[in-house]
Amino acid sequence: MTFSDSFLAESADILEHVDTAAVESCVEHLAELRARSGRLFVLGVGGSAGHASHAVNDFRKLCQIEAYTPTDNVSELTARINDDGWDSSFSDWLVGSNLNERDGILVFSVGGGDKQRGVSANLVSAMDTARKRGAMVLAIVGRDGGYARLIADECVAIPPLY
């Protein structure tokens, strides 16, 4: 079997195991957000920051949802990290953006964060802030979903290969 054959077979296997009910639930939540003219704040770190930026483009252009990500403004993000620390960088940005009950956040994360171990602490803090402000929390994560699976209104977990 070639690399391409193997890659495509693994990709198909993963897609067959995605919880389609969770995907549909996310779509319904996003449609409700758009209907109430809410804003969507898309959060991700590392490669997920790239996904967040691209998702903002698609939500704005294709779905007519007002969307933003903190990682698109490197100057503000690094100033927040420098002055206030990594853990609060996203949550403080959400507060400064006047996140409210009409809005929502969408988290992209491999592990979904871990509050006890301090993994992806800025995402965990952002999800807690969204909850406190009554905003919707959606997540697309890998592995077992971590903290995101516990706190989100809906969480799509991409199943691991093995």
Q: pLDDT per residue over 62-82, tens digit each? A: 999 999 999 999 999 999 999
How far apart are alpha carbons 31 and 103 in whole angstroms? 12
Q: For residue 145, name the pLDDT band (cuts at 50, 70, 90).
A: confident
31-48 pLDDT tens trace: 999 999 999 999 999 999
Edge to edge, the sheet with strand 40-43 lists 67-68, 40-43, 104-109, 136-142, 154-158
Inter-residue contact 56 to 68 (CB < 8 Å): yes
How confident is residue 162, by pLDDT bands cut at 50, 70 and 90? low
Q: What is the pTM of this model?
A: 0.95
Length of the chain: 162
In sequence order, the 6+-apart residues with CB closer than 8 A to the CB of 100 are: 133, 134, 135
